[in-house]
Structure 1
Amino acid sequence: MLSEVFYWLFNMSISASVVGIIVLLLGKIKKLPRRLVHILWVIPFLRMWIPVGISSKYSLMTLVSKFTTKTVVVYEGALDYTLTNYIMAADKYFPITYKVNLLDNLFNIASTVWIIVAVGLMIGFSMLYVITKSELKDASLLRDNIYVSGKINSPAIYGVFCPKIIIPKGYEQRDLNYILAHESAHIQRKDNLWRIVAFISASIHWFNPFVWLFLKKFLEETELACDEQVLADCDEDEKKAYALALVDCAESMNVFVSPFGGAKIRVRIDRILSYKKLSIISVASFIVFAIAIGYVLLTNAS
């Protein structure tokens, strides 16, 4: 049973790699809003979790299937539901019957190693999260859900379901308007929750080096998308002040929080200063573009 799970997981990981590379290339287009690119990163993560997809002749996988891959039909009807099979190492799939015994042994061993490392990574991340939260229990309340701690070096959001804005000691005397706007945007977007989902996904697909690259880019795009959300309500002078506030904050190294000074500062400053508000037509065009990309990348070969 475990080897069958790993067999399909391995195929899902390949699909996630293919669509993740496409999203990575799309992210290089500077004119695309970062909030749109951030949403597009959901696609490879969905590919990591959902094995079954709707068949379509317009799918990217239809093009890929001309070179390699086999589609395994799960359900035939008005819409066909299929599994994408890149490995093609079996004669039958429900249950899987491998072509040779060597493959059966190989997947049994690989699946055991996979589950041990995956569980180990998730335990490690969980311990890091608990330790981080416990170290900040002595943070003092400033006002509302804003706390002050001497154990951090950059303002950040801590917690998932009851998130708190925690600022470093000494920041109380600063102008916190832009810092709080940024952190509040993280809370509205549930970014800490998506961070945890992303880390769980990477832990499950730990054997795929592309997944760790995608995780890094996703975390970077999270900060850029949050900056855009704040800038949508800023004029030119406020935009410059926001950039200065960002430069004034040190970078945070904690992977489980949404830090005001996270990601590459130079990239964020460049994006902030070059940001232009979108027209209604532009927003509508980008929504149509996102839907089209989602359809092409999430459907399976016909």
Structure 2
Amino acid sequence: MDIYMHILQMSLSASILIIFVAILRKFPTYYMSKHIVLIIWKIAFFRLLIPFTTSFNFLNITPVKESNIIIEVFTRAYVKNIPITNSNTANTINKNALHLTMPTSDYINPLFLIWIIGICISLLYFFISYIKISTIIKEALPIQDNDFTSEWLKKQNIKRTISIVTSDRISTPITFGIIRPKIVIPLNMNYQNKEQFSYVLTHELVHIEGFDAIWKVVSILTLCIHWFNPLVWMMYNLFNRDVEIACDEKVISIVGENQKSDYAMTLIHLAEQKSDFNGLYNSFAKNPIKERIVNIMKYKKIKCLVLELD
């Protein structure tokens, strides 16, 4: 049960950081890049997943490990039902209390059991979603007219193996996978619009180069462990929004600020469709569209250390 109390302590103390970041992300893009916000979100993830000790104890919650029962023996002590007859031993026990350590109880704490059940249900939900989307990816087919995509991939100087496929079972472009990522394009997408197609591919490539899929897994793991904390649910949703907004910022910095209106129109065109596999992949048209459009149109390139390193 101490692990549950420790997780609770971590969750409560991290809640302060979550509230801070939720307020910080309200700053306009030209004051605070979403790349900076993402870095702080990632610090919050580490705080929620990696235990460390601190002198500060939130709400004075102390994990209960065991009960230390002090038994003072005055004249005769029995250890394992064997009487102590030696006078020297008896005198020693008379002067010093005998410390025995006993477990607190043999029953399982109901809160601990509920927490474990919550983790199992959360993991099961995401696992089922993973199986569904994996099936779709396996059934996806290479794009027939792949001259443009082949040429586009050559220009990017990509170090990892990336596949561009198409599927009639999705309605918006997505990226799935970590080691060998795949960009999946809807079958009904207009491939003849090379400009729009290039925006989509660039957006998905930014996700791949930023290893956003790994952070998706980290965010899901954090949510499953801290499912009881509503602020962690808020963090999960805001983090996914900020991943997409930060990706939009990066794309605009690549294609140029003079093309942000065209990029925004592409986003609007593809954002009408929704998906049932939230959290398991990176999507061009995912998350609240209004916030992304506003950030795109207000975007101004920020000269800062974080963007230079990125």
TM-score (norm 1): 0.76
Which entry has the higher C-alpha Rg, 1 or 2? 2
Identity of aligned residues (%): 30
Conserved? CA contact 2:167–2:185, under 8 Å: yes
The residue aligned with 1:200 is 221
Which of the residues 74, 82, 86 maps onto 2:58?
Answer: 86
Instruction: Check whether the contact 1:7–1:107 (CA below 8 A) recurs between aligned residues.
Output: no
Give the structure with the larger strand fraction: 1
Q: Does 244-253 or 212-221 show the bigger shift?
A: 244-253
Aligned partner of 2:164 in structure 1 is 146
- 1:209-232 per-residue CA deviation (whole Å, 9 max, x = no partner) reads 111011000000000010111111
Q: Which residue of 1 aligns with 2:110?
A: 109
**Residue matched to 1:263:** 287
Moved runs in structure 1, 4+ residues, more than 4 A? Answer: 103-107
> Where does 1:25-64 land on structure 2 (aligned, <5 Å)?
25-30=23-28, 31-53=31-53
Unaligned runs of 5+ in 1: 56-70, 72-83, 288-302
SS in 1 for 2:60: coil
SS in 1 for 2:300: coil
Task: Report the Cα distance in structure 2 between the residues aligned to 1:87 and 1:106, rounded to whole angstroms.
Answer: 26
CA distance, structure 2, for counterparts of residue 181 and residue 139 of structure 1: 20
Matched letter for residue 255 of structure 2: C
Aligned equivalents of 2:141 and 2:252: distance in 1? 30
Shift of 1:131: 1.5
Distance 2:306 2:220 in 1: 31
Is 2:10 the partner of 1:12? yes
Q: Tell me what 1:174 maps to.
A: 193
Is 1:6–1:107's contact at 8 Å kept on the other side of the alignment?
no
1:182, 1:38 → 2: CA distance?
A: 17
Counterpart of 1:156 (choices 159, 174, 177) is: 174
Q: Which moved more, 1:254-263 or 1:231-240?
A: 231-240
Match of 1:41, SS? helix
Matched residue pairs, number? 249
In the alignment, structure 2 segments of 5+ residues that lack a partner are 69-103, 151-162
* CA deviation after TM superposition for structure 1 residue 96, in Å: 4.8
Deviation at 1:136, TM superposition (A): 3.0
Instruction: Name the stretch that deviates more: 35-44 or 246-255.
Output: 246-255
| Secondary structure of the corresponding residue to residue 183 of structure 2 | strand
Once residues 241 and 274 of structure 1 are traced to their aligned partners in structure 2, the CA distance between those partners, rounded to angstroms, is 14
C-alpha distance after superposition, 1:152-209 (max 9, x if no partner): 1101102232210011112233321100000000001111221121011101001111
Matched, 1:274 2:301: no
Q: 2:168·2:187 contact (CA, 8 Å) conserved in 1?
A: yes
Q: Which residue identity is paired with 2:20?
A: I
C-alpha displacement at 1:138, in angstroms? 1.7
CA RMSD of superposed structures (Å) = 2.5
Higher relative contact order (CA 8 A, sep 6+): 1
Cα distance in structure 1, aligned partners of 2:17 and 2:227: 17
Residue 210 of structure 2 corresponds to residue 189 of structure 1: yes
| Contact 2:35–2:306 (CA under 8 A) maintained in structure 1 | no
What's the CA shift for 1:123? 2.2
Q: 1:40 to 1:105 in 2, by over 3 A?
A: farther
Seen in structure 2, the aligned counterparts of structure 1 residues 178 and 5 have a Cα distance that, compared at 3 Å, is: same
Structure 2 length normalisation: TM-score?
0.74
Per mean C-alpha deviation after superposition, the further-off stretch among 140-149 and 260-269 is 140-149
Q: Which moved more, 1:122-131 or 1:213-222?
A: 122-131
SS in 2 for 1:136: helix
